[in-house]
Amino acid sequence: MEIICETRGRKFVGLQVPIVGYDSAMVDAAHMRLPEEDRGRIEPFLGSWALVSFEHVLTSGEVERPFGYSPAGSILYQSDGHMSAQVSVGSPMRFADDDPDRASAEEATKAWKAYFGYWGSFEVFAEKRVVVHRVEGSSFSNWIGTEQVRHFRFDGDNRLILETQSSAGRYILVWRRRVD
């Protein structure tokens, strides 16, 4: 199937082709025509990643796990420059009713604290070991329109470690590449 892809203001026409090892992600041939420098920057990120751990290291050095010891989550990086990140407690509570409109205030409050997600675009600055997430939508609306900077490192081909610093300490998220 022929498609038109626009990446950072540049338009390309290409064919969709599956790339093995990227969770059957469809990577368009237009991406293959990107300059080698651009391709090399984003390729290690492409695909689907499962959350392994989420730690908040407080300024005191104490470690908190805001989503528990077995968090669940997914981060997706696409060849067109879009991304999505979702984080949740591993076993979220069930609501009393299956209709989300009937959630009690207490249930809604607990659910809001047990899940976090956002989506947007991303750009990799390999020389600085930084990936920038440009947030277009988020469960925390204050992030919409912001750039979330994540320092990254890879531990082999299948483990991605993202870190960010705030006034409350350092957040460390470890992700494992999903493979078929």
Residues 63-112: tens digit of each pLDDT: 999 999 999 999 999 999 999 999 999 999 999 999 999 999 999 999 99
pLDDT of residue 157: 86
127 backbone dihedrals φ, ψ, rounded to 5°:
-65, -25
In whole angstroms, give the CA distance from residue 169 to residue 57.
6
- What are the sequence ranges of the domains in the chain? 37-177
16 DSSP β-pair partners: 28
pTM over 0.85: no
- Indicate the DSSP class of residue 154: E
- Is there a contact between 153 and 129 (Cβ–Cβ < 8 Å)? yes
Q: What is the pLDDT of residues 118-134, one digit of tens each?
A: 999 999 999 999 999 99
Q: Which residue has the higher pLDDT, 8 or 133?
A: 133
**CATH T-level topology, domain 37-177:** Lipocalin (2.40.128)
* pLDDT number for residue 40: 78
32 has a pLDDT exceeding 50: no
Q: Which residue has the higher pLDDT, 73 or 179?
A: 73
Strand, coil or helix: 67: coil
